[in-house]
Amino acid sequence: MDLNFQHTNVLPARTWNRLGINDTALAEELPPAAPYTGPGPAGELPEGVAAFSGPLPAGEPETGMGHEEADFVAEHRNCGVSLKVAAGVHAKTPVFLTYRVDENSPFVVDENAVVAEEGSDVTVVVSYLGGARRGFHAGLTRLYAAKGASVRLIQVQLLGDGCLGMDNIGAAAGEGGTIHVIQAELGGRKALAGCKARLEGLRSRLSLDAIYFGDRSRSIDINYVAQHVGRKTRSDIRVSGALLDESEKTFRGTIDFVRGAKQAVGKESEFNLLFSPKVRNRTAPLILCAEEDVDGQHAASTGKIDENRLFYLMTRGLSELEAKKLIIKAQFRPVTDQIPDEKLRNAVAEYVEKRLNRL
């Protein structure tokens, strides 16, 4: 099967074509489509959380990667689950979903949804694991936080070096609703990720923490959009990562203040560490603003590890490699610490540790 995307991860406002950042085209030969045979939800669902198969709430939110990926998933889905959290329920334990992309099931197209009804909250942990030589995963996850509800999605992508992975998120929040996305894009030959959150309700908010890790010739392509529609909405996008070897990363991050989003606050920060003269790091941090009464800020910093920090750690007896590893792990900790499962947390730590030994 062939995959042919013309315009995915589209920058919400175009800029010079020669920079090649307006969107990403993707032409790939995929493994043959086949039913998914791997694991799915692990254990029992917490009380008040149920799988459902009916229609999603009206007003389907747009996604970060865009409609080409979403349409592809709708057409070829072979796994996934839709969850509903009943009004007022505070799920006591997280929901764990695992999708494995291996030789038995190299074609994984998962469509998921989390609908948190009024006043409820839930945490969903989704991990994409496996090392198929020519694996493929395309995911689409829709998140709905109704009035006063909170959805926390933790996505960890640890696919093997032969895989193409895509994680596409579309989210909407009602009055006082919170969408919290934690995304760790650590594996794969090519990794694409997108998240668009529409902050519709008064005081709704998006918190998006992401880490990425590039080594060998991995390419990472990300598009995040926080769309402020309602009054007093708030978004925080924090991205940090490291690039080694000949890896490449493209990050597009947009805060979009729609007219009427009075007293909205949008903040975005990006911190990139570079470890090889052959890496390529591209960033387009946009602020689009049609409302006067807002506060939008963006800060980005890209470079080598601060030599003073390195020197300090080395005077404390660490080797250069140990010091560098410590700094990168420390940079990832605010995100990895939020993974509520020790086994997965350790898997992430081990994965990063192993890869950093090649520094």
Q: Are 81 and 41 contacting, i.e. CB atoms less than 8 angstroms apart? A: yes
CB neighbours (10 Å) of residue 29?
Answer: 10
Among 27, 277, 342, 354, contact with another protein (rule: CB under 8 A): 277
Q: Does 285 bind another protein (CB under 8 A)?
A: yes
280 forms part of the interface with another protein (CB under 8 A): yes
Q: Which residue lies nearer to another protein by CB, 21 or 169?
A: 21
Show the beta-strand stretches assigned E in the chain.
2-8, 24-29, 41-42, 49-51, 82-85, 95-100, 107-116, 121-129, 136-145, 150-157, 164-173, 178-185, 190-199, 205-214, 219-228, 234-243, 248-257, 264-274, 280-289, 294-303
Identify which of residues 303 and 334 has a Cβ nearer to another protein in the complex: 303
Residues 32 and 29: their CA atoms lie apart, in Å, by 9
- Mask of contacts with another protein, 141-160, x by CB under 8 A? --------------------
By beta-carbon proximity to another protein, the closer residue of 31 and 266 is 266
Cα of first residue to Cα of last residue in the chain, in angstroms, is 37
Rule CB under 8 A: say whether 286 interacts with another protein: yes
Residues in 79-118 that interact with another protein by CB under 8 A? none
Return the residue of 281, 325, 331, 356 that touches another protein, per CB under 8 A: 281
Q: Based on the shown chain and the rule CB under 8 A, indicate whether residue 299 belongs to the binding site for another protein.
A: yes
> Should residue 17 be labelled a site residue for another protein when binding is judged by CB under 8 A?
yes
Nearer to another protein, 78 or 263 (CB): 263
Piece of 8-16, 75-83, 131-139, 205-213 that binds another protein (CB under 8 A): 8-16
Parallel/antiparallel/unpaired status of strands 49-51 and 82-85: antiparallel
> Interaction with another protein in 300-319: which residues (CB under 8 A)?
300-304
Contacts to another protein by CB under 8 A: 13-17, 19, 21-22, 243, 257, 259-260, 274-304
